[in-house]
Amino acid sequence: MSDVNGQLGLKENAEFVRACQSAGGRVGGLVCIHTTFTCSESFIRQAFKLGKSLNGLTHMHVSVGRYEPEHTLETHGPRTIAFCDSLGLRHPKCWRPSVSGWTLPKWN
Amino acid sequence: MVEAPDGLLILPDFTTDTPGDSPRPGWGYASSAQRWLMWANTPPYARNVQTAAKERRQAGSFPPGLSMDTLILYSVLAHVIPLAVSPSGFWPFKESFWWPWVEDPLDHPMIQAATDMQCSRMLACGVTGFCDILEAPSALLGCISLQAEVVQGHGIRSSCRSRLPSG
């Protein structure tokens, strides 16, 4: 995967959302960023900002399996939910329907 | 004047009534004369709650109709791939099966065919709306528009989005 493909995806998302809004039918578009372990911090911020500018929701998975909580803890420091909060993703325009794994407390 | 419900009253924590809008806390649905009304815990709605024949309060959110909130339309293509050994673990699943066998070989005709089949299946079992995720590290451009054309042909309500690769 590449930065170029990521930016092309954002562009395609935006064009699709606008086209759906203009058409006003039963099909709508959202921006989606997958997870915190497949997108960089700057890319997540960029995508969420784009989603808000389109007056739509931005979708993401949170705490996928055991992998994401462990990855977030090791890579960013806070656990997944706290990391998402630090990026401003606890927001009515961020849709996180599938929290699929546990973010276990860190025992000392 | 608020119409009084005479049947089932459903009051979840949140209700989603308009695609794309945020869920509404404190709102639900009530049946009245064979139709459904938006309902709330607050006046002027709440004072008529006693007229409901049956009240159900439930935790969580309540979407209109039967909806699938996370679907990968082309995932149906994975159902016929024989495996000698099942991958175990998150990355083995992605690296030895999902990417090489499902996502990397995708092309536009396969996307269209899978979308057509999934929409038919959903309508046959009463699903009236869905949210699709089009994913893949090497996702083909142009797929969500193709999917949208097929979905529009079925008349089913949907939100399509591209799950973006790393940037």
Which of B29-43, B70-84, B113-127 bottoms out in mean pLDDT, i.e. has the lowest? Answer: B29-43
Instruction: Say how far apart CA B116 and CA B112 lie, in whole Å.
Output: 6
What share of residues in chain B are helix, strand, coil (percent, to 5)?
35, 30, 35
In a domain, A12, yes or no: yes
**Percent above pLDDT 70 for chain A:** 88
In a domain, A101, yes or no: no
Amino acid at A81: I
**Which residue of A lies nearest to B167 if distances are taken between CA atoms?**
A3
**DSSP code of residue B165:** P
Contacting B with CB below 8 Å, chain A residues are 1-3, 5-10, 12-13, 16, 19-20, 25-34, 38-40, 42-43, 46-47, 56-57, 59, 64-67, 92-93, 97-98
Pairing of strands B35-40, B54-62: unpaired
* Residue to test with chain B: of A2, A26, A36, A39, most B Cβ within 10 A: A26
Quickly list DSSP for B19-61.
Answer: TTSPPEETEEEEEETTEEEEEESSTTTGGGGGG-SEEEEEEEE
* Residue to test with chain B: of A22, A27, A45, A54, most B Cβ within 10 A: A27
Mean pLDDT over B132-154 rounds to 87
**DSSP code of residue B62:** E
Pairwise pLDDT comparison (B141 vs A97), residue with the higher score? B141
In a domain, A37, yes or no: yes
Instruction: Say how far apart CA A1 and CA A3 lie, in whole Å.
Output: 7
pLDDT digits (tens, 9 = 90+) for A27-50: 999 998 888 888 899 999 999 999
- Give CA separation, B45 vs B3, B5, B8, B58, B71, in Å: 9, 10, 14, 18, 35
Interface A:B, Cβ pairs < 8 A: 113
**Ranges of H-type helices in chain B:** 90-93, 108-124, 143-154
Residue A15 Cα, gap to closest chain B Cα (Å): 10
Instruction: Say how far apart CA B55 and CA B58 lie, in whole Å.
Output: 10
In a domain, A72, yes or no: yes
Residue A72 Cα, gap to closest chain B Cα (Å): 15
Contacting A with CB below 8 Å, chain B residues are 19-20, 22, 69-70, 90-91, 131, 133, 135, 137-139, 141-142, 144-145, 148, 151-152, 155-167
- At B19 the pLDDT is 65
Tokens 């009253």 belong to B9
**Which residue of A lies nearest to B162 if distances are taken between CA atoms?**
A32
Residues of B in contact with A18 (CB under 8 A): none
Which of A4-13, A56-65, B106-115, B139-148 reaches the highest mean pLDDT?
A: B106-115
Work out the pLDDT band at A106, boundaries 50, 70, 90.
very low
- Residue A32 main-chain phi, psi, to 5 deg: -135, 135
In a domain, A17, yes or no: yes
In a domain, A103, yes or no: no
Structural domains in chain A (count): 1
In a domain, A18, yes or no: yes
Quick one: which of B76, B135, B145, B138 has its CA closest to B110? Answer: B76
**Which residue of A lies nearest to B148 if distances are taken between CA atoms?**
A27
* Per-residue tokens: B101: 């066998």
In a domain, A59, yes or no: yes
Instruction: Say how far apart CA A98 and CA B68 lie, in whole Å.
Output: 12
Domain of A39 in residue numbering reads as 3-95
**DSSP code of residue A28:** E
**Which residue of B lies nearest to A93 if distances are taken between CA atoms?**
B22
Q: Is A30 in contact with B139 (Cβ distance < 8 A)?
A: no
Q: Which of B20, B137, B161 sits opposite A1 (nearest CB)?
A: B137
- At A107 the pLDDT is 45
Instruction: Say how far apart CA A14 and CA B92 lie, in whole Å.
Output: 32
Residues of B in contact with A65 (CB under 8 A): 90
Residues of A in contact with B151 (CB under 8 A): 26-27
Residues of B in contact with A6 (CB under 8 A): 164-167
- Give CA separation, A98 vs A102, B69, B118, in Å: 12, 9, 21
